[in-house]
Structure 1
Amino acid sequence: MDKRQMSTKENTLDQSRLVESMKRHPVVWFFGITLSFTWIYELLIFGILKLPMYYLVPGGYGPTLTAIFLTIMTSGRTGIRNIAQRCLYWRTGWRWYLVVFGSLPALMLLCILLIPAAKAALQMPTYTAALTYIPLFILTLLLFGPLAEEVGWRGFALPLLQQRYGPLVGTVILGGFWGMWHLPLFLFVPGYNGAGADIGSKLLAFFLFVIFCIPLAILFTWVFNGTRGSLLMVIILHTVNNTSPVWLFLGSVPKSIGDGILKYLFTIGLALLAVLLLLMTRGRLRYKRSL
């Protein structure tokens, strides 16, 4: 056997070991690649080059791109076909559509009504504004979070975490990583999600955001399990979270209220909703091993 053949054989063995490692530890690989890809990209774009926010899109696709890569490496066409089918699965029943489109806006509206100053400033959207929301919804779905993330978070990581740790612990782990994945934005984007200018206020805002992500992840898990693993429904729910509660109701509420008491009240309301879902499902969040 000549040196070229030996080198080819060694490369084949290395690739085989790599794929075997991905099969044995898919969640570790997923979180490792996802965080590395997005953090390095956002450090370069926002921390070093100081570019505008619309450069966020490629880095935001870290979870979905990682999930597709690992699925190809470990499951091939069968795994990709499964992801595609779940992204298109819409026959979940009309009640789930009410939950997906209405739960978070209703919770936000309730929180606004509990604050006298916010309630006084609230103005419901006009017909023209409602029509404007449609292209905003589509743009957000495609570019700013939902499609870029959910194939990874709920499509790849959540089923594996639920199988190993159960629905509650698995969701808490996922929610923590989901929140931590946003760290560079708090550090390098001025005012991101209420972060101040000094490092202390940035880290505090980041910590509160991670806490917020955990009950939100519980809601997402409940919807994902209840709709038999429909990625389409959690993608839509993610889009609603990113658009309608803020755009429909906060536009007329003073920013000081929105970034202050209203944000904390909404987090508390979301936590109470998560507790209610856990009590209703005895901690199972409608999980079935077949998902």
Structure 2
Amino acid sequence: MKTVPNLRAAAIYAAGFSLTALLFSATAMLLVGMAAGFTGTTAPPISLLAAGVAGPTLAAILFARLFRRERLSPNTGLPSWKLLLLPFGYGLAALLGAKASGATVVVPSITDIALAFTLQLLVVALLEEIGWRGHLVPVLAARLAPIAVALLVALAWFFWHLPKFGIGPLFVAMLAIGGLANSILLTRLLYARGGGLVGCIVLHASFNTAETVIDPNATSMPAQYGAFAAVIAVSVVAAAIAWHRNRDWFHARPR
């Protein structure tokens, strides 16, 4: 099996998928906004959020129909109950990171955090993971070693977040580091016993929800960055451990 041609083709496929997902997300948000404008109302935030994250799923549907590529099937078993601890672990890390900034930290109610996790789980993480781990990773995993797949998908995932680049260079740098770490974790989890696509959705939602354990409207920006940095640090450490324990798997030639 020739690695270089596979890598080139995989990179083109990943780049095309990322661009298509970005275009679909932007178009979906535009359509939701236009529909609200025609009716003289304001688009509900949840509608805009769902439209914004629908791009990867829509791209997966399109690419699956246009390019009938061989796929390496992920684990389809039920995820481990231990994954239910992820929201608490990431949330605690975010809270400690925010407090470490020295700024005043305001914590929302448990009900608000639970609602945020539900939204992340059933909308954001679900619609993203169907595309990234449900389609792109299995297609690339049939041609490349898992570590190469994780790196390519991290890059594609990073550029799909292009609209957020305007937040600032520090955020973009943190986004790149966090995306790479989570891509390694999620690639392994997709094929691990007790993981699978559902497990990836839980992990993704847990990571995102961690940022909601502090109230962004009542907490300073340094505290918010402290929370984000702490959550990323957890993923980086977890990714390093996952890679170290599964080096042979990550660098194995595709089956």
TM-score normalized by the length of structure 1: 0.63
Q: Does 1:274 align with 2:239?
A: yes
CA contact (8 A) 1:168 1:283 kept: no
Which has the larger Rg? 1
Residue 68 of structure 1 corresponds to which residue in structure 2? 61
CA contact (8 A) 1:219 1:274 kept: yes
- CA displacement at 1:43 relative to structure 2: 7.9
CA contact (8 A) 2:94 2:211 kept: no
Alignment equivalent of 1:30, drawn from 17, 26, 37: 17
Alignment of 1:154-233 (within 5 A): 154-187=133-166, 195=167, 202-227=168-193, 230-233=196-199
How many residues of Structure 1 are paired with residues of Structure 2 in the alignment? Answer: 237
CA RMSD of aligned residues (A): 4.2
What CA deviation, in whole Å up to 9, does each residue of 1:119-171 have, x standing for no partner?
Answer: 99779887xx25x544443333333x212111110011112223333111210
Q: Structure 2 vs 1, CA of residues 259 and 287 (structure 1 numbering), >3 Å: closer, same or farther?
A: farther
- CA displacement at 1:38 relative to structure 2: 2.8
Structure 1 residues not aligned, in runs of 5+:
1-21, 188-194, 196-201
Alignment of 1:1-291 (within 5 A): 26-39=13-26, 54=46, 55-75=48-68, 89-92=76-79, 96-98=80-82, 100-103=83-86, 105-110=88-93, 112-113=95-96, 117=100, 129-130=110-111, 133-143=113-123, 145-187=124-166, 195=167, 202-227=168-193, 230-243=196-209, 245-247=210-212, 249-251=213-215, 254-282=219-247, 284-285=249-250
- Once residues 141 and 78 of structure 2 are traced to their aligned partners in structure 1, the CA distance between those partners, rounded to angstroms, is 23
1:91 alignment partner, SS class: coil
Q: Which moved more, 1:27-36 or 1:152-161?
A: 27-36
* Structure having greater relative contact order (Cα 8 Å, sep ≥ 6): 2
- Once residues 252 and 149 of structure 2 are traced to their aligned partners in structure 1, the CA distance between those partners, rounded to angstroms, is 11
Structure 2 residues not aligned, in runs of 5+:
1-8
Residue type matched to 1:154 in 2?
A: R
Residue type matched to 1:250 in 2?
A: I
CA contact (8 A) 1:27 1:160 kept: no
Q: Structure 2 vs 1, CA of residues 113 and 206 (structure 1 numbering), >3 Å: closer, same or farther?
A: closer
What CA deviation, in whole Å up to 9, does each residue of 1:152-211 have, x standing for no partner?
Answer: 100111122233331112101111221221111343xxxxxxx2xxxxxx2442233122
- Once residues 56 and 87 of structure 2 are traced to their aligned partners in structure 1, the CA distance between those partners, rounded to angstroms, is 23
- CA displacement at 1:257 relative to structure 2: 4.2
1:58 alignment partner, SS class: helix
CA contact (8 A) 2:97 2:226 kept: no
1:260 alignment partner, SS class: helix
- Once residues 179 and 158 of structure 2 are traced to their aligned partners in structure 1, the CA distance between those partners, rounded to angstroms, is 6
- Once residues 51 and 26 of structure 2 are traced to their aligned partners in structure 1, the CA distance between those partners, rounded to angstroms, is 12
2:249 alignment partner, SS class: coil
1:164 alignment partner, SS class: coil
Residue type matched to 1:109 in 2?
A: L
1:207 alignment partner, SS class: helix
What CA deviation, in whole Å up to 9, does each residue of 1:3-31 have, x standing for no partner?
Answer: xxxxxxxxxxxxxxxxxxx9xx7545423
1:165 alignment partner, SS class: coil
- CA displacement at 1:274 relative to structure 2: 1.2
